[in-house]
Each structure stands twice: as C-alpha cells, then as structure tokens.
C-alpha cells in the first residue's frame, strides 16, 4: 500500500461515515454504526504501521515523480511570468519616453525561476516614436533606458531601427 491509496481509503471512510450519519436516524442504531465506522477508520489509519516497521511502506513513492513534474511546471510558469513582466516594464518605460509599440525580445535562461537575461532586442520597425519635451529619443538613450529599467548591462541591449 502506498501513501496515495492509504489517504484515499481514509477519505473514503470519512465520506461513508458522514453519509451514514446523514441517512441514519438518531438513536442506538446510529450510535452503534458510528462506533463501527470509527473503529474501522482507526484500523485503516493504523494499517500501514506494520509495513512501516518492516521498511516496505513507501511514503513518497507515488509523489516524487508527480511532484517533480509539478515543480518543473511551476518553475516554467514563474519564469514565463518574469519574462512577460520584464517586457511589460520595458514597454512602459519606453512609452514614457515617447516610444510606443516596440517589438521586444528577451533572450534569457531559467535559473531556478530567476530570470538571467542574456540579451534584449528592441526592434523599432513598427514602433511609433513621439516627441517628448521637444526631443525625440535616440538609439543610445533607448539602450540606456532599457538597461536601467530591468537592471542589465547596456551591452546586453540591442536596438534595431
């Protein structure tokens, strides 16, 4: 018996006991049935103890593979969220400087849900560049602004016009 089947058995016993409690009328019969269900539940809870002492009860046998896959999925989701957040932050920062609709590509690596940015590519082909305070932003300034907004070295930012 592994951990998941043991837990399912306990849950099944609890559900049956609740259903029996709802269906049975109050009285001696209900008390007897409750007592029997309580005794059986205790036996089910204690059933893996002999296997545990013999060393054959595998507590995490069914959970390890599923947990690892689930952890990988969560890690990948967090990584994607951080990439999207960085893109949004760059887009907002450039928007304040008069650059709307830039195409942003972040080349990065997932380091245990930490975003390690290798390169940021800003493509201005379809971007709309407006005057802000009488000035039009330059490519060098875009590199500086982007690098500062996400905290990377300026050499990692490439701007295509």
- Percent of the chain at pLDDT > 70 equals 81
* pLDDT at 1 > cutoff 80: no
C-alpha dihedral over 59, 62, 66, 67, to 10 degrees?
0
* pLDDT at 33 > cutoff 90: no
Note the pLDDT tens digit of each residue in 43-79: 878 777 766 666 555 544 555 556 666 677 777 888 8
* pLDDT at 19 > cutoff 90: no
Model confidence pTM above 0.75: no
DSSP 100-151: ES-EEEEEEEEETTEEEEEEEEEE-SS-EE--BTTBPPPHHHHHHHHHHHHT
């Amino acid at each position: 018996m592994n951990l998941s089947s043991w837990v399912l058995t306990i849950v099944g016993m609890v559900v049956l006991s609740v259903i029996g409690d709802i269906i049975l009328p109050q009285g001696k019969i209900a008390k007897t049935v409750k007592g029997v269900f309580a005794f059986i539940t205790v036996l089910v809870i204690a059933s893996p103890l002999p296997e545990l002492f013999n060393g054959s009860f595998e507590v995490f046998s069914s959970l390890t593979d599923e947990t690892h896959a689930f952890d990988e999925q969560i890690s990948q989701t967090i990584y994607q969220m951080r990439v999207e957040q960085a893109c949004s932050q760059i887009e907002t920062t450039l928007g304040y400087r008069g650059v709307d609709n830039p195409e942003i590509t972040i080349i990065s690596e997932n380091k245990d849900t930490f975003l390690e940015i290798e390169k940021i590519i800003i493509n201005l082909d379809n971007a709309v560049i407006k005057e802000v305070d009488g000035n039009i932003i330059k490519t060098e300034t875009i590199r500086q602004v982007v690098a500062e907004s996400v905290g990377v070295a300026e050499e990692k930012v490439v701007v295509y016009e």
